[in-house]
Amino acid sequence: MTTTIRTISPKARQGHSFARPRKSVVLTIIMLLFLIYALVPLIWLVINASKTQADLFGSFGLSFGKSFALWDNIVETFTYDDGIFLRWLGNTLLYVVVGAGGATLLATLAGYGLAKYTFPGKKAYFAVVLGAVAVPGTALAVPTFLLFSQMGLTNTPWSIIIPSLITPFGLYLIWVYTIDSVPTELLEAARLDGASEMRTFFTISLKLLTPGVVTVALFAIVATWNNYFLPLMMLSDPAWYPLTVGLNQWSAQASGVGAQPIYNLVITGSMITIIPIVLIFLFLQRFWQSGLSAGSVKQ
């Protein structure tokens, strides 16, 4: 019995080895520029939130002031004007929980139904959804205000919550994600086992849709949290303002003739405003997982 030993040349061995990732100096520089562009405003915000009103205009923007007044600014922000900032924070949380939460639920149900069921007018409905994605929200603000004014809903929380419930892009995203992540064979197997449609959705499909649902939820939360133009038009009572409109009112108040300078409160309030969004993102990003349906259907 003869054993033949084949030798592999260095070139062939190099061809079979894993290729090292290529490095690009230009792309690295571009990414560093994007990183600086994203971090510098946040660093500026944190640094200036620690300054007193006098230090804001007496020192360089990216340098600390003579005294570290971060805690004093936070306390004054929450207590200024009878604690109106806390009321604005509560309003924003209300609009996000009810509005963005409802938008995520409706988009998930509608997108799933559009992807997995056949019904009359499905193509027309899908065309309307695609058309709605292309319409900016600001273009609908004035018609929405006129409609809500006739219904007597302006200057109420419903004038912010109801428009926030509709997210055509979220519906489209769930529809696309459902087609690829929820196998039809898996649903048919559940139906053969006697599971109802609602049970199939909540026990099987919703788990497979978790990354898509989380993505839609984050889009809806950020859009509702940063919503400014719609509350500015709909609300006239400061007690119902969200943080965006309230902080803008403080900024206008600080720049008025003979007004009390409260720029330190505006900056500190802006810093506090972004903290919940960062925490929500850090909490939800762990649900972004790929391949949840891998192996659920035998090929």
Distances (CA, A) of 215 to 38, 75, 276: 21, 34, 17
The whole-angstrom separation of Cα 79 and Cα 119 is 55
CATH of domain 80-261+276-287: 1.10.3720.10
Listed by start position, the domains of the chain span 43-74, 80-261+276-287
pLDDT in tens, 9-35: 555 455 544 556 677 888 899 999 999
User: Could you tell me the pLDDT band of residue 296, with boundaries at 50, 70 and 90?
Assistant: very low
Q: Environment class of residue 274 by beta-carbon count within 10 Å: exposed (0-12), middle (13-18) or buried (19+)?
A: middle
**159: its two tokens:** 């004038």
DSSP annotation of 149: H
Question: So what's the pLDDT on residue 24?
Answer: 80
Nearest CA to 249 out of 258, 262, 257 is that of: 262
pLDDT at 298: 44
Answer for the pair 254, 264: CB distance below 8 angstroms, yes or no: no
Q: Hey, is 161 helix, strand or coil?
A: helix
Q: Nearest to residue 243, comparing CAs of 89, 77, 45? A: 89
- What pLDDT does 151 receive? 92
Band of pLDDT at residue 295, cut at 50, 70 and 90: very low
Query: 259: Cβ–Cβ under 8 A, 6 or more apart, which residues?
Result: 253
CB 157 within 8 A of CB 94: yes
**Positive or negative: CA dihedral 292, 295, 297, 299:** positive
Q: Average of pLDDT values for 85-113?
A: 94
Q: What is the dihedral of CA 267, 271, 273, 277, to 10 degrees?
A: 150
The share of the chain scoring above pLDDT 90, in percent, equals 40
Contact 286, 271 (CB under 8 A): no
d(CA 79, CA 297) in angstroms, rounded, equals: 58
- pLDDT of the residue at 20: 65
Query: How high is the pLDDT of residue 294?
Result: 41
Residue 224: is its pLDDT beyond 90?
Answer: yes
Distances (CA, A) of 104 to 2, 120, 133, 166, 263: 69, 24, 15, 9, 36
The Cα-based distances of 40 to 35, 37, 44, 180 in angstroms read 8, 6, 6, 39
What's the pLDDT at 244? Answer: 93
pLDDT confidence bin for 193, thresholds 50/70/90: confident
Length of the chain: 299
Q: What is the pLDDT of residue 195?
A: 84
Alpha helices in 50-121, H assignment, sequence order: 53-58, 70-79, 84-94, 101-116
pLDDT-derived band at 258 (thresholds 50, 70, 90) equals low
**pTM for this entry:** 0.82
pLDDT tier for residue 293 given thresholds of 50, 70 and 90: very low
Place of tokens 């309230």: 246
pLDDT confidence of 37, banded at 50, 70, 90? very high
Matching residue, tokens 């048919």 = 188
